[in-house]
Amino acid sequence: MSGIKKTNAMRMLDSAHVDYEAVEYEYDENDLDGHHVAEFLNLPYEEVFKTLVAKGDSGAYYVFCLSVDSSVDMKKAAKAAGEKRVEMIPVKDLLAITGYIRGGCSPVGMKKKFKTIFDEMILLVDTVSVSGGMRGLQIRLKAEDLVKVTDASVCDITA
């Protein structure tokens, strides 16, 4: 891992004594799709999770993580968050809210702690890959460690 610059996500995992592997990949600014990540790293889609950020009617922000091959069901997501309704935040607001940019948003190490919810698919895999906190970097770790370090809940949030 000598040539990889430490990110907030990596520092948080280090301080929590969580084992992980940082893996770099090539990306295209115009194609930040999670399928590309899975294919480049030769991983099944169900082991690569994307991180989405939404805002509830209450004004609170929520982090939803699900397989790159899945779509979030906004009604299920709202129910899981304890809100009547949630909607995705505009991409232009992502950096100010989370400290991360599109294509580099990790559920670990955001600048504030938000309620985090993983789709139940995470219970079916041993190892999961999420953004390492910057474009071109993924973190692979045990699924149970990721849920624990993010203090997340797990439920069905997919369409």
In angstroms, the CA 67 to CA 159 distance is: 12
Q: Is the pLDDT of residue 90 over 60?
A: yes
Share of the chain above pLDDT 90, in %: 88
Helix (H, G, I), strand (E, B) or coil at 60: coil
pLDDT in tens, 103-115: 999 999 999 999 9
Q: What is the pTM of this model?
A: 0.94
What is the per-residue pLDDT for 1? Answer: 47
Across 109-122, average pLDDT: 97
In angstroms, the CA 144 to CA 159 distance is: 23
Q: 99: which 2 tokens?
A: 């400290």
Q: 157: which 2 tokens?
A: 């949030």
What is the per-residue pLDDT for 2? Answer: 54
- Listed residue (13, 35, 153) closest to 103, CA to CA: 35
Least confident of 2-11, 46-55, 126-135: 2-11
H runs (alpha helix) in the chain: 8-15, 34-40, 74-81, 94-98, 143-149
Share of the chain above pLDDT 70, in %: 97
What is the per-residue pLDDT for 67? Answer: 97
pLDDT in tens, 54-74: 999 999 999 999 999 999 999
Q: Is the pLDDT of residue 52 over 60?
A: yes
Q: What is the mean pLDDT of the chain?
A: 94
Q: End-to-end CA distance of the chain, in Å?
A: 37
Kindly report each contact of residues 96-100 with a partner whose C-beta sits within 8 Å and lies 24 or more positions away, as own/partner: 97/53, 97/61, 98/53, 99/8, 100/131, 100/133, 100/134
Domain ranges of the chain: 8-155
CATH number of 8-155: 3.90.960.10
In angstroms, the CA 8 to CA 150 distance is: 13
